[in-house]
Structure 1
Amino acid sequence: MAHQSLAVAATVGAAPPADGDDVVIVKSRYGDYEVRRDHLITFPKGLIGFGDQRRFALLDLPNPGADRFKLLQSLDDLALAFHVLPLQPETSGFDAADIAAAVGPMDIKAESLAVLLIVTLRRAGDGVELTANMRAPLLVDANSRTAHQHVIANEKYSLRQRLN
């Protein structure tokens, strides 16, 4: 089954939107982004540990070497942003049954589901260690632009899945 991809809201230095578009300026550590309001993502319950942070924009990172990652920037607290890794549900590494159980109560249709993993970057020796939280993915309805962070009870998913 084909899944809808989650379009990125904006890129740094993108051409200004057409006249009449309803946009917000999002300030991030990487610069200012112009984002259409209909591209914002709402987390009705916030994120774990950040329950009051509900409005986010999904942004491109300016580094071409990091093109598989995105920035999930809070609009409620501009100092809060997460590096995330977008995945297609069928190639995400999650069992279909675990995804179905997670999205069932959220009423997200399979064809509009997008999965984001929060990524942590840690200095390790001379390099950087990248890990992703597979235990608590962000499940996004690409049609309604609403999302939920869901803790999967299956312990086979790591809190720190190595990416490099």
Structure 2
Amino acid sequence: MEDIEKTDSIKISTKQFGELEIDKSSIFNFKDGLYGFEDLHRFIIINEEETEPFKWLLAIDDPSIGFPILSPYYIDPDYSIMQDLDPEKHVLFLIITLQDEKGNITANMKAPLILDVTDLEGKQIIILTEKYATDFILNKKAMD
């Protein structure tokens, strides 16, 4: 019996980005999923030049689900999750809502994503402080 060729990539079809070939070594595993999406565990980061500084967190197992994300340091250079992270290993992102019920672009600064770029693991945490909001309104100045 012939061995089935093992591939280092997978193909997914998305409405927003079309057909994508994803290198398996770029897939982040979120063991606990995201809040509200606990059943989704595998995600990739998509960089689109035309949407910079925003990036996209796309669910591999349901490519119809994707989240715009942004580094918190675009909004607050002193942003802190009150945990020690290795800057060589960890990257922080915030999930963005492109248009809330009032038409605002908002950032969830209270529940950031922590990506471990070495082990390709991710998690979403909740910061137990009143300093940050789940619906921080972004303005154009913050993005310049």
Deviations 1:24-79 (A, max 9, x none): 113222212221100111101100111110001111236x1x21111111011122
In the alignment, does 2:93 pair up with 1:136?
no
Distance 1:123 1:49 in 2: 17
Give the Cα–Cα distance (whole angstroms) in 2 for the partners of residues 160 and 123 of structure 1. Answer: 9
TM-fit CA distance, 1:93:
3.7
Q: Which has the higher contact order (CA 8 A, sep 6+)?
A: 1
Q: TM-score, normalised by structure 1?
A: 0.70
- Contact 1:23 1:34 (8 Å CA) reproduced: yes
8 Å contact kept, 1:109–1:141 = no
Judge conservation of contact 1:46–1:52 (CA < 8 Å) in 2.
yes
Q: Deviations over 1:111-149 (max 9, x none)?
A: 211001000011688xx5211100000001111110110
What are the residue-to-residue correspondences of 1:72-83 with 2, within 5 Å? 72-83=57-68
Runs of 4+ in structure 1 off by over 4 angstroms are none
Question: Which of 30, 37, 41 pairs up with 2:24?
Answer: 37
Structure 2: stretches of 5+ with no match in the other structure: 1-5, 140-144
Structure 1: segments with no counterpart, 5+ residues: 1-19
Match of 1:4 in 2: none
**Secondary structure of 1:38 counterpart:** helix
**CA separation of 1:44/1:36 partners in 2, compared to 1, >3 Å: closer, same or farther?**
same
Question: With structure 2 as the length reference, what TM-score do the two structures score?
Answer: 0.79
Q: 2:52 aligns with which of 52, 58, 67?
A: 67
- Correspondence for 1:111: 88
Aligned length: 132
